[in-house]
Amino acid sequence: MTESDPDYDALRRDGVLRVTRPDTEWLSTGWNGGRSTTDCAYNVSVPEGWDRTDLETYVDDRLERAGFETSAGTAAAAGPVLLTGVDIANARGARRGPVTAYATAGISNPAALPMEPTPTDESDSAEGTADDSGLERGRGTVNVIVGTTRALAPGALENLIAVAAEAKAATLLAETGFPGTTTDAVVVGHDPSGSTANFSGSGTEVGAATRACVRDAVRASLRARYAAADADLPASVDDATHGVSTDGRANVFRPALATDRSQPDS
C-alpha cells in the first residue's frame, strides 16, 4: 500500500458509495444508527422529490441494484447507511496518517445559528420543518464517514463523532457561512484489532488527522458540487431552497450552589 492509498477503500456505483474495511466497528448518527460491526458503511444518494418513508425496503433495493448485496440479508444489518440529496459523483475522500474520511456536501437546506437572534415570537425558538421519517424532500445534506486504523478505547469512538462534527461545522462556516444543514449525519469507525488509541481529541494523532481529513473532504465535495457545476451557494437561509434559522433564545441560568455537604449530589 502506498502513502496515498486509503485504509478504508471506497467504491461508488449507481448512486451509492460503499466504504469498506473488514470487521470495522461503526458508530452512526444517521438512519438506523448506533453501533454495529460490519465490513461496510454506505452513503446513498436519493433523487429530487424523494419522499419514501419505508427506508429499510428502499435501502435494501438501492444496495441490491448497485450490486452491493451482503450476506446480512437486509440493510439494517449490512452496516450504517446515510442518505443524501447530493449526487454521489460529488463525493470526495481524504487521508492523513491513520484516518480516512469521505464526504458529500450540499447546502440547499442550511441551518443557521445567529449569535444575536431576533425572535418575533417565543414559539419560534425551534423553527424546524424536518420530517422525522427520513431525509427531507429535495434537501442537500452534509454526510461524513470517518474511519481510523487505530483501536479506540471506550469513549474515544463516541468522542470522534464530536471531533468530526466540529471539523465539519468549522469548514462549512468558513466556506458557506452556515455551520451545517438540517439533515447532516456522521459515521465513525475504528479497527478493534489495531494499535490502541486511548483518546481521540483534537490534540491526539487520530483527532488531528480526523479534523484535517474532514475539512479537506468536505471542501473538495463542496467545490465539486458548486464550483465545478458553476452553481452558487446560498447567501442566506432566505436564498436557499430550504433551510432554518434558530432565532429563538433560551433561558440562561446559573446552577444552584450546594451548601449542605451532608446531602449527596442529585
Are 230 and 186 in contact by the 8 Å Cβ rule? The answer is: no
Within-domain flag for 259? no
Within-domain flag for 254? no
For 86-100, the pLDDT digits (tens) are 999 999 999 999 999
Compute the mean pLDDT over every residue in the chain, rounded to the nearest whole number. Answer: 88
Question: Total domain count for the chain?
Answer: 1
**CATH code at 110?**
3.60.70
Within-domain flag for 250? no
Within-domain flag for 265? no
Within-domain flag for 53? yes
For 117-162, the pLDDT digits (tens) are 876 655 444 455 555 545 554 467 999 999 999 999 999 999 999 9
Q: What is residue 254's predicted lDDT score, i.e. its pLDDT?
A: 94
Q: What values do phi and psi take at 170, rounded to 5?
A: -65, -40
Range of the domain at 91: 9-122+136-245
Within-domain flag for 1? no
Within-domain flag for 92? yes
Within-domain flag for 201? yes
pLDDT at 199 over 80: yes
For 29-73, the pLDDT digits (tens) are 999 899 999 999 999 999 877 878 888 899 999 999 999 866 656
